[in-house]
Structures are given as C-alpha cells and as structure tokens.
Structure 1
Amino acid sequence: MVSPGCSIGHVLLTIAMPAFALELIAHDVQEVVCSQGLSECTVKDESPIALPGRKNNAVDIRDLKAQVKLCCEDGAMCPLCLVIDMLLSIQLSRANSRTGQRAASVKVCYTPSSLPICKRVEFTVNRETLAQQNKAHLSLVIKKPQGVSFSSRVQVSVHPTKQRHLIGELVVPSLDEVCVSDLQEHIKECNAPRLNSIVHQARKLVQLEVVGRNSSLLDRMCLQYERNGRCQPWCSMTVPLFSVTPCTCFQIWWDEGDQRSRRSVSCPFGDRAGVFQRTVWENVTMSVVQGQMTSAGSMLLWSLSAPCRLEGEVWPCHRTQGATESWCEETKGLRQQLSNGTWRQNSKGLWEIQGAFEGINLQLSPCAMVKVKERKNELGPFCYNNTSRWRWPLLVFALALLICSAVLLHYLLHDEVKGWARRWYYDKCVKAGTRHVVLLSPPDADDVVSRLMCGLGSLLCDRGFSVSVDQWSRTEQGSSGPLPWLHSQLLQVERLGGRVILVLTGKARERTEEWTHQQQQQQQQQHTEAKGKVQDKGLTRITSPYSDVFTASLSCVKADKQLGRARERFLLVDFESHPAHHPCHKKHLPELFRGLPLFHLPSQRRALLYDLARGRGKGSGGRKRTEPLQKQPTAGDDERRRRDVFVGKKQKQKARTKEKTTN
C-alpha cells in the first residue's frame, strides 16, 4: 500500500535511457503505485473470464501506457518487468456520504501469446483529495511477466473503460539491440565471450584472446569475411597475417553442452583498414571469357573475386603493338560500377561479382581494368586470350608427349610396374567372402545408431564378407552369454581371417574409460590383498565387466594389445552424424584404443572396405601368398656361376695330369 502523498516519478528510478527506451528500475519498487487520492492499493491474480463487479462503476480508465523495463538488484542480473501506467477518471457523487470514501478496482490483462494473463488492482477513493480534479494515476509493475521475453510482442487491455480502442501494444527489444548497448552487463541472455586481438608484426600473425565471465567453459569460434558472410569453423587462437583483411570477423560463443549461449560478432580490423588493405588488393583476381549475344554479336564476360566487397569501377580496353605490358587503351563509354552489381560468396569464401561488356571486338585481344577505391593505381590489365588457332597443335603435341612419357616410364619402371600388377592381381583374386567381420554395437545404441549399423552390416554382406552383428545374434548371446559368444566369433576371425569392428560413440568412450579405471582398481585390490595390508571387509567390489558384448570386447582388446596384435584384429569406426568428440576440440581416445585404426563413416567408407579386403589372411597375422615367389637371378649370381665352372675345369685338368703321371 502507498500513502496518498507518493507520486510515480519518485518511485521509478531511471538509470539509463538507450535509443530503444529500455530503462533500469530498482528491483524493490512496489508492485502497485497509486497517486494522491487513492489508498489501500493491492493487486491479486484474476481470471480472464471473470465478470466486473459493482465497485467498478465509479472508475473510468481514460489513458493507458505500457512499457518494458529492467528490474535490477545490486550485483545481480536484471529480469524484464512490465510497467503499466493508467489515468483514472472517478465519479465523486457515488462516494460514501459519511466517510467520503469508496472502494473501486480495475482489471489489467496482458497477452504475450494466445492466452491473456490478468491482474486486479483494488483501492479506496478518498473524496476530499480528489475534489479539485476528479482524476488519479495508477501504476502496476509486473516483475518477470510470464511469457514475455526479448523480441516478443505484448498486448495490454484494461477494464472498465468507455473507450473501445484503449489497448496498448508494445514490442520488446531484441537481444541484438540490447546486447550491443551499455545494458548488456545487466542482462543474463547477453552473456557472450568477447575477443581481443594483438598484432605481432615480427611473428607475422595475430594473437586472439577470449575474455568473458564464463572463462571456465570452452569457447567455440568461426571466421567470416564481412558480417553477413558465411562463417567457417576456426579452431586456432592465431591467424596468419597474410590472411587478415579489414572485413575479417569472428563469431564466438560459450559451449554450454546442448544449450549454446548467444554469439558475439567481432570485426577487430575494420578501424585499421589502411594496414590490412594491401591483403585485399593482392588477392583480387579477375577473369574474362567470350560470351554470345542473342543478336549474333560478341560480348566480353568478366568475373572479379576478392576477400572483401570492393567499391570501384571496371572498364574494357585493348592493347596495341609496341605498348608496354601494363598499358591498355580504354574503350570509352563502357565503365561499370562495382557497387551496382550483386556480390555473392563462392565456395572458397571469396566475394565474387560478375558483369559483361557488349559489342566488344574479340580479335583485338580485349582486356579489362579495375580501379579500386582508396588505391592509387589500377589493377590489370586482365586479358582475353584467343587460343582457338593454337588448340589443335597443342592437342597433338600433348598427345605425343603423353605417348613418349608412357614409353619412357615403361622402360624405366618395368620391374616396379610388374610388381604392382602382381599385387593388384593378388588383391583382386582373393575372395573377400572368406573373411569374417564382427560388428559390435556401442553401449548407447539408439534407433538411429542401430539403423546405421544395420546399413553397414548389409553393405559388408553385399561386398562378399561373412558378417556377424551382435544385434542380429541376441538369441545366441542369451543362451551362451556375451563373452562366450564373442570368443566364438574371434575363433571365426582367426580361422577365416578378418576384423572385429567397434562402433565408437561418446557413451562408448565413457564406458571404456570406466572399464579401464575398474581394471586398475581391481589390480590394486588384488595387490593389496596379496600383501595382506588391508582387510577384504572394507574394499569395494568391482562389478562384472562382461555386462554386454561391447564391454566384453574390451578385455580381448587389452589381451591382444599386450601381445602386440590388436591392430590386426580390431578397428574403430564412428558415424559422422553421431561423432564421439567435437571436430575443433578433439579429446584423446581412451588409452585402450590408442593405436587402433579409426575410420569416419560415410566419408571414409572406401578406405574401410579397402582395409578389410586386404586384411589378414587365413590363420596368420600377415597376408598369405597364393604361391611362393622365386628369387630372380642377378649379375652377381651369373659371375659366381661362371667362376664355379672355371674352377671345376681346372680341377678336372689337374686330376687328368696326375693320373697320366701315375701311369
């Protein structure tokens, strides 16, 4: 309740008044504020369909004003508040004749979406204080109004009123407007990191620094040219100096798990355009090609690309004999402004604009020149080369060069090509169906991951592999258990040759780390019990590691890793739609999986199939050859063979001479 002597202007505390009229008021402001002549002001919730009471007959609302403000506490964030000011007209003749007072009320409703939310303000009218004016002011402050947020549209209506169109409507400012003002420090939704840049001329790079309230969270960042350009992920805190331009911008935000914070956009090099403008000029490229007009005339099509959008003009020209390479005579009357065209960003991130010059004589070797704003010299000339007369001679020369190169390579690399052909023939002739592939699901295999695994299993079956998926063998696992079923599959892999594929997800990585930690605890427990220093009573029992097939496979990976053959039997795959880690902030694989081959699907599907096709042979750790390779004779072998023949002849001659002497 407010005493009659209070006024609205003394209660609302205005701290700042930005351009979009969003003010700060004290959080402890009263919920309802009444002017002189009104007392015992209270507010309560009201149903939207409640009928007006008889006490409202003496009040008529003549004016309405609705605003959205920020209710602030010391050292805390400022939530939104809805402030509704009303001008009341009161009939004094209906007041109580003895006391000079009368009870009255007004109903206020605001509609943030489809359903209205209503409040009823009840008060007492004092006849003596209203005798001169018959008017009073009433202000209602609704803290944290339900459904009202930034960028929302709110409609306010009041009752009783004799004016049919007395409805207030307002639009709450957007975060893009609020978070670039001085109010961003008071608004929770504006919590976004800021970026500082330091230019190191000696090191030829720009160092980036992230500042903000949530320095404990990881930050994400992307780089773009121009504020409306396409933003590409950027994972480094340094930028090479040769790639920095005046229009280079960064978007940065906190990584809050599934819920990302608001992004802040920083273009720190715009005020130093003179320093980095040379980078833009050095990366301007232009191409000119021939075009055909509908009237059978010729035109010159041009396309200009640069890291930033440019202001300037382009015009056609042609060279004359004896002129310098940089001189080009302008074709008058055909200049075009770069700002009049439409700039588009290509796949390389460069801004590109295109145009055409009509009625150009292509026999004069036409060119194009560019004059960029704030640059003294022109860029160019960029010329069109009429190469039609050289096309066939160049084609014949290239064909002859290709034939000569093939013959030369055949004589120089005869043995290498022969060995490559032998290996290729061997890989193609080995039947892939003799190899066995075991596909194991991650612990958190949902419907999407299950469908992806079934698709991978079907693909391997179509390629001729013998495939066993744990999801297809639930009955066998239920009867024998996960670990015996897995050992039977490993025997198949050992007998037929093949691999065990582990599907890696975030949950699989966590399960592996937990399993490794449990193994370490179990080893410590066994070591402690062996020494007899700690009683068994106080130790925590480790749960069985064979609760599912994936967990059971971890012990097999560990055993093979100790024997040095884990790479020959196991490999990892992850689906790019369900990655195990973020592409910029890669976490290391669990220690148990380090050293195993990892394939990302579907981008590396061909590499996976190739690795499985050329994998282990039957019953051995390496590739098994279909027939033994014979050693090829060398020049040294021929020399030794001739020496052995010569020595043999000498020995035979000595034997004959000795035999004759004896006889």
Structure 2
Amino acid sequence: MRVFSCEAKYCGCEEINEAMPVNRLLLNNLTTSTILYCKEKCSPCIRVQLTVSLAGRESKWSRGGSGSKSSKNNADEEIEDEEYNEGFELIYLSAYHSMNGINRCARLKVRFHPTDHELNISPKGTVELRCFRAYVSSNVLIKAFPKRANQKDLQQTHEVEDCTLEDFLENITWCKVPNINTTLEDETQVAVINVPENSYMLFKYNVVPRFDSTNPLVIDNLKMTEVRLNFSDIVPCLCVQAWSAKIEDAIRAEKCPFSQYKQFQENIWKLSGLTVEYKGKALQWTFSSPCSIVGEISLCSKTGDSAALCHEIPHSRQTIQINKLSEFQSVDPHPSLCIKIISGDHVNFSCPFDSGHSLLWKVKSEVKHRNVTLTILHAINEMNFSICTVKGNKCDHFLQNMEVINEQMKQLNLISQDCFQVWRSDVQFSPRITICPFDIYARARWTPLLVPFLILVTIVIFTITIKTQILKGCVKVIKFKPTATVADCSTNGKVLLLYSLDYNLFEKLVSTLAYVLCELKLQVAVDLWKRRELVDQGPLPWFHSQKNKVTEEGGKILILFSNGASMKYNEWFQSSEGTIPMHDPYDGFMASLNCVLPDIIKGNVFGKYIVAYFEDLQKKEDIPDIFNIMPIYSLPSQLPEFLQEIGVPANVKSGWKATSYQSTIKNSLDNVIKECQLWEQTHMPWSQDHCKLKLISEGQQENDTMTHCPLIQMEMLSMI
C-alpha cells in the first residue's frame, strides 16, 4: 500500500523560519549521494533521501503542549481540522556550499492517506529530493528542518567527488583537461612541450616557498600550442600546467616531465643565487633556488682564492632554508669573512665584504732578530681581540695581555718564530687572520739578493750545458734523486698518501716513498708538503678536499700503516664508543680516518684504496681487520705488485729495465728503513710486545692502556 507521495519545489531560504507550520512527520534518517545530472551539459548533483514516519492521532492534540485537548477557542480548532483534512505536511531542506557560501533551499510537500492517522498507526516511508546542484570536489552541508517539538534538525556534510571519478571525467566538461606532451631533442638540446588548441599553458617551479623567477615563461599565461625550452633553462622540479581557454575557472592539468632526468640537476645551481645584506651586526642572507636543496651554510675565514682555503668559523653552520630570509647574528664585516654553501659534492662560497666595504681593523707585524711586534689598528673603540699561536695542527691561545697604545691601537711584543691567528672576540663570528712574521721577514731580507742569484744560476746552467754537449755519448746512469721537489711530479695519475707521524725518521721514510712515486710520473698529495695549506684549512677540511680531488680524477688513496697508525686507529675507534682519546683528535692521521671510515663502512673502497706497510717495521696481523677489504702490500718485497696496483704508467717502466728501476727503489727505501729500525731499537725498548707483556702481568686491564702505552712515549721522544 502506498503510504506517501511527494512533490519537491525549490524555494527561497527565507521561508525556513519560526513561522513554519507545525507538522506531524517524524524525521528518522538523512542520507546523501552524488549523481550526475545531464540536460544540455552534465553537472554533479546531491541526491537527498529522508526516512520519515507519521505520528499517531494523538499528535493532533499535542500541539497545545500537553496530552489533553487544547484549551484554544473553537475557531482555532476548526482551522487545525481543516489542515488535517488537506492530508499533507511540509519538510524544508537546505544545502550550504562552503566553497563559495551559496545556500540553496527546497520544500517537500508530503501527502498521505487521511485514514492512516485515524487508525492510530505510524506508517513509515522514504521521500527524496533528486538534485541539489553542486560543484566538483566541494563540501556541502545538507540540513532537514522539521517543525515539531523535541526533534532536532537532521544534518550531514556531503563531499562531492573530484574529477578522478570516471563518470565525471567522461561527462563533465569542466573535468576535461588538455593533454601535455613533452619531447626531448638531444641534438638541438631543446625540450618541446605541446598542448591542444584553445588551451592556456603555464610553467611553474614545484617548490615551497615560491621561487621568484625573471623567466617570462614562468610569469605569464601562454596561449600557444608549442613551447621550446633550452636544456640550460630546465630543472627537475619545473612543471607545466595546461587548461581550457573556453571554460571559466577551468580545472588545470599539471605534469612535471623532467623530474627523473639527472642531466638537469646541475642547472639548479646555475639558477640559484645567494643575496646578503649587513644590518646592524647581523648578516642577513637568502638562498634563492628553483628546487628544494638539502645542504648547509656556514661562515669561514678566507686565506686564498679557493673555497678549499676557507676555514669554517666554529658554531656558524646552519641548515639551508631556500627562498626564505635568515641571518647570522653578531658578525664582523671583515673582507676575509665569507659564506660557504655545501650540498653533496657542491661547494660554493662568496665574500660579501670583499670590496666596497670599509676595513674596520687590520694587523701589522715587525721582526727584529727574534723579537716580534704585533700591532692591531681598529676604527671602532670598543673592539676586543684574541690571539693564538699555530703549533702544527693546533692553535694555542696566547694568554699575555696586549698593551693598549690608544683607543684604536693595541700592541703585543713576544719572542716566537710561529705563525699567529688574530680575530675579534667581542662578536660571535669573526674571521681568523693568519700572520707569519718570519715568512714576511725572510722575503723582505732575501728579495734584494734574488736577481743576482738568478743571473748566477743562469750562467752556471749555460756552462753545464756546453760541457754536457762535449761529454755526449757517455753512459747514462738512472738513479733516484733524494732531493726531488713536489714540482717534479707529473700529472699522469694522482695519489693521496695517508700516514701516521710516529717519529722524525719515519717522516723521512714517508717522504722517500712519496719522491719515489713522483719519479714514476705520479702526482702525490701528502700533508708534509702542504704544511701551510693544512694550517689555513685545518686537517679535516684539507683531507676531505684532497680526497675529493683524487677520487674525481680516478686516482688512488694509499694508507701507509705503521705501529703508530694501528694504535691511533684503535684510539679513534674507542673514542667513538665514548672513551676519551689521549691523543690530539686533530692529529693528521686521526683526522683522515674521519674521511676514510665512512667509505669503508659503505663498502665504497674498490679501485680507490690501497694499504701498504713496511715489513721490517710492522706486522701484517697488526693492521686492523676492517682494512682487510682493501688490497694490502708489504714493502719492499711486494714492490712490483704494489706499483701495478697504484697505477704506475707503462711508459715509465718501458724506459727502464725492470730489475734496474725496482732495485733502485728498493735500495732507496731499504736505506731509510734500516735507519728507522736502528732508531726504534735504541729509543723504543718498550715495543708493542713489551706493552702486551706488561698488561698480562697486571691482569685484566682496559684496552686503552695497551693502546696508549707506546703512543705517549713516542710523542715525547719525537719532541726531544
């Protein structure tokens, strides 16, 4: 039996108010669903279904507020009876669109059989409004309003699907977006982007915060079907948007076609830039980049024209935040202060105070005999300074107070042949200026004699050349020059030599090996030839930069093990587990371990690293096990295999007889090895075996005792 029939009509929302007639319908449930409404064009609609029931006959009398008959006058009762006899009730619905604030309303006129309520039954049924117009991908609040005591409004928020819904994509014009086609032309180094006719196109960088570009392709909407981009203008995060020019506020298609091409990664740095501004004592900076970059930025002290010679200022490192204003607070605006950016293999730096900025302070030095006078001149009265003396890889603070000459001049007199570093201590970040008075003194003293000396050398060379021509035809003897210089090294191959400075004679042995490799047409990088660079940069940055240079050019990293190197590795390993190291952590070899160990842990050593040791000074089993994944050679017994592994050019060997050049190398090394053996026997009666026996006799002791026993005495002896 049909219980209800329903008529729907859209109406103004002002009809929903307190003046609505009271009805006898109970609203039980409200459900919504999305349908497609198509007439000339298709659009999404919300279908609303209400489950309602009709209250019994007593509901007629409840309008007065009680279960008994109302005390209203007879005229009012007659009007109420007429309303009942009409056999219908009204339900109001509203749909509020949060996207644009539009509110749409409808009125449902529900009819029922007059006898239903007279039989004191409560019939139930479902009424439906087929279409509340809606927008794609929107939220709509649906409400049903009854006018009945003790019943609240029913409401539900309906989410209209987006254009990924298949019916929407096929039938709704607004959901149809242009296709974006991309072609890379390698010959012309151009990317071609095509969209259909009557379409707009826009290029954008997929980065937050937004990158401000001057490229007109990124700024303007382009109404064209084809755009050609040079490879140099493309970065991985460059995306293309396209949408219909015929539809107002049309949905946009977006595609990032270059995200998987590594060849465009380098262009990120070409389009990026660093802007700085000095305000007060703060150095404000903004790193603008079209794509996200992971890296760090820091302040450094410049000592040369290369980023590798810019020594990082402690505690200045920050994470790069792109397209956003950041700052370093309390900064000294000195020309030697620079900003260094490191991201992966990229190292960029700029010096904002290089030119056009007044010099606030400077250092002068004078040398008389061994007396050094340092004078600091400063333009601002309230400036304080700190000084340290450079001792190998360390810089010891100088505790002597400076004499104040006047408000803008301070002076320090001392006796020393060391280099000094001077910096401002009244600010947080100041560059360290390195002063080597005796270097300046030596140059000033010997420069006047340089021209006559060069003339004399030229005459001697000319004389020797004439005599050589006379003696032409004599037997040539090839032997190694123990006084070779770094300049003798060829650039056929690169070798980075890492070693532990156990004592002075061992350094001589390392130097001999380095010269041997130079004579074999290899370019050798070793810290004992680069003392000034090492002081300026610090051990860790220097080893890191040298390692990058060698590996990028396909060279080799040679780790030369000795007893001291093994013990320093053990100490380095224990310090990573919380044990306090007794040796200087900035020691050259210990610093190089920080560059080497990450590659070993990752297994990134094959074809890059070689281990060697001198069999008369070190046992192979004393080399830490972690280095066994590298090729290990004993010198000089395995010299031929070692030279082949390290990459001695074939044209060098062909010029010499194998037995001749190998014998010469072996003799050069053997002579120094014997000197080292003799020194160790004389000065090192407490060898490694002695230390082990001592530990066994004293019972169970900590490992660091065994590690440091010879190391401490070795360091003391090397200072004698």
Determine if the TM-score, normalized by the shorter chain, exceeds 0.5.
no
* TM-score normalised by structure 2 residue count: 0.37
* TM-score normalised by structure 1 residue count: 0.40
